[in-house]
């Protein structure tokens, strides 16, 4: 099992990288975050489609949705 690093330890380790390595680390983390966001969105869409197919929700107009939101 991979040992878990504390956030402070990660920051400390990043301080030992060169400026270019720090910039590349930032770019890598941004790409990973973007990919994680895409994967989360894909999962949410799949869940919504399953709920719709199971009859757990129904299509509504924008006006109906706003009325429901505003109560």
Structure pTM?
A: 0.70
DSSP string, 12-67: HHHHTS-HHHHHHHHHHHHHHHHHHHHHHHHHHHHHHHHHHHTTS-----HHHHHH
Residue 48's pLDDT is: 93
The DSSP 8-state label assigned to residue 1 in this structure reads -
Residue 1's pLDDT is: 76
Residue position matching structure tokens 């929700």: 57
3-43 per-position pLDDT tens digit: 889 999 999 999 999 999 999 999 999 999 999 999 999 99
Domain boundaries, the chain: 20-70
């Amino acid at each position: 099992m991979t040992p878990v690093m504390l956030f402070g330890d990660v920051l400390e380790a990043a301080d030992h990288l060169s400026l270019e390595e720090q910039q590349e680390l930032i770019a890598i983390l941004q790409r990973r975050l973007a990919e994680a966001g895409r994967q989360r969105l894909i999962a949410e869409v799949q869940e919504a489609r399953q709920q719709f197919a199971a009859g757990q929700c129904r299509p509504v107009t924008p006006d109906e949705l706003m009325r429901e939101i505003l109560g």
